[in-house]
Chain A
Amino acid sequence: MQTALLIEQILNGLQFGVMLFLMAAGLTLIFGVMGLINLAHGSLYMIGAFACATVAAATGSFWLGLVASLAAAAAAGALVEMTVIRRLYDRDHLDQVLATFALILIFSEGTRWVFGSFPLYLDIPPLLRGALPLPGGGAYPAYRLAIIGVGIAVAVGLYLLISRTRLGMRIRAGESDREMIAALGVDIRTLYTVVFALGAALAGLAGALVGALQSVQVGMGEPVLILAFVVIVIGGIGSIKGALVGAVLVGVIDTLGRFLLPVVFATFMDASAAAGIGAALASMLIYVFMALVLAIRPQGLFSAQG
């Protein structure tokens, strides 16, 4: 039974990590190509979740909702890029932080305006409602396994996109040398909009997928955004591979910490105190991990700068 529980927790950590990867991949791509720090990435996650919940409620189909989440987040991303973000590429990081902070206020209050303050609920599609048996007893929800599958598929897809396609070649060129890419005759403005919309779509997808596990509400993107920052700081800003490794590490460490620390503390103190201290320390664990990584490698595990 203990092994089954442990396997379940590891899978939970993996699922959490994969979801963080969807967020972190977009953030790190946008930073790598355009040099922009985007706080409003969590808003795009929220938009994806709201779009999915709304369309799923109207049509009765989760899958249509999923398509809507990708479309809505990509469209919102492209719109914001063309109206605001574009003006920020040449600004310092402080201006980028402030402007995207302002975007969060606008998106959050705007969403509250349209949808009200009550959370929406999104059901898991019937196809994935079951559970699959785990070795050693117990069962694991099919939907969570599906999220892990989606994350792996996105990671592979991104790898192929960046290493094998013309768009990927331009993205890589944009990371190393903006002037060269302009000299190659690539329309850099369009490239930036496309990259931003791609990152936004990934965030929207993550929001929609998680929306079926939690409630869909304003502000849901912010904790995830900050964890995604931790992920890319650990992985190395600008590196997709770093985002993947960082996301899985953070997901697994966080989940296992919350599971194991109270158990460990319970071996030498009474149960309720152990639960309290264990939970409090577990909530700090990934930040301690981040500090350790930075103490050893200030540029993260897979820095894009080599």
Chain B
Amino acid sequence: MMGNPRESILNLVLVLALAAIPLVATGMGEPFYVTLATRMAILALAAVGLNFLLGLGGLVSFGHAAFFGIGGYVAGIAATHAFNNEPLLFGLPGTNQMIVIWLVAILLCGLAALAIGVISLRTSGVYFIMITLAFAQMIYYFAISWPAYGGEDGLSIYVRNGFPGVNTLNGLHFFYLCFGLLLAALAVFSVLRNSRFGAALEASRQNQQRLAAVGIAPFRVKLVAFAISGMITGLAGALFADLNRFVSPSMLSWHMSGELIVLIILGGTGRLFGPVAGAMVYVLFEFYLGGITERWQFFLGLILLGVVLFARGGVVGLIAGKARHG
């Protein structure tokens, strides 16, 4: 697809910068920055999932923390059972293999998204926003009041889960694992956007009546998009739990859902690298503002308000101009 050259250059710069941060940090003996970059990559991955739904489909899910948290709990619960050597369900053992955990997280999040989507996609607009929020909140309260896996206190992962051939305990290696998944998700996003399915999804955002009038039922298109979106965000959740070696209901909280939307808006809604730009800017804000003042969220609020009121289009829009749709 013919791209916007400035956007392509910006995308390349973003990828190289994100890939370079941990290398430079390791060289300078500052492992903390490796963690920071990993955080960027994982949040970007989660936001790629949401961007698929929100950016392409125009569906404002305010409940994507549900998938992020389910992914996290899959990692936490599997690791806990493996660590304690207790069977998990139906005599199946836990696991500390990331690949298995990822697949289970993706599968479960896809199923959860189908269930939530079937009900919430019957509605639109404000109803959809509130209902996705409510369902995420339901899972949040369930996690809080279900004592088996830590309830409100959350669940620790004592040893980070493993991946064949990679030493995941090494921060740099773990970063590149996450980074690789982010690139893969971006590739998936790009291929899907340019496909027939992507065309139908984008058309459903622009004009649902038109989509139906050419003979494509919008509901099924949106439902499949919702499931794909939930799966990507769920994968990110599993990684996030492994990064922190901890999962708690806060991953399911509505602040998390809001944060994911904020990432996308900061970066550029519907743009391929919008989530990457957004996550990098957001984590940097959090880090530097957080270093200057304890009240950094106050200033984040002011900045966000300014972006919404005066600078729509986000970082990518600011630098690369308006999106083109061929």
Contacts and interface: CB of A to CB of B under 8 A. Distances in A.
- Physical interaction between A and B: yes
Interface of A: 31, 37, 84, 87, 93-95, 97-99, 101-106, 108-110, 112-113, 222, 226, 229-230, 232-233, 237, 276, 279-280, 282-284, 287-288, 290-291, 294-295, 298-300
Contacts of A109: 295, 297-298, 301
Nearest to A104: B301
Interface in B144-171: 144-148
Interface of B: 54, 60, 62, 119-120, 122-123, 125-127, 129-131, 133-135, 137-138, 141-142, 144-148, 254, 258, 261-262, 265, 269, 295, 297-298, 300-302, 304-305, 308-309, 312
Q: Interface of chain B, helix or strand or loop or mixed?
A: helix
Given A97-B62, A276-B148, A105 B301 contact: yes
Contact of B60 (A31, A97, A279, A283): A97
Contacts of A232: 130
Contacts of A93: 60, 125-126, 129
B258 to A, nearest CB: 5
Contacts of A95: 308, 312
A112 B298 CA distance: 10
Where chain A touches its partner, the secondary structure class is helix
B135 A287 contact: yes
Contact of A106 (B148, B269, B302): B302
Nearest to B259: A101
Given A280-B145, A298-B123, A108 B297 contact: yes
A294 B62 CA distance: 18
Contact of B304 (A102, A229, A294): A102
B126 A31 contact: yes
Nearest to B118: A295
Contacts of B254: 222, 226
B141 A87 contact: no
A271 to B, nearest CB: 14
15 contacts: A37-B129, A93-B129, A94-B269, A97-B129, A98-B262, A99-B305, A102-B301, A103-B301, A105-B304, A109-B301, A226-B133, A226-B254, A287-B138, A291-B119, A294-B131
Contacts of A87: 309
Contacts of B144: 283
B152 to A, nearest CB: 12
A105 B297 CA distance: 6
Contact of A295 (B119, B147, B312): B119
Contacts of B298: 105-106, 109-110, 113
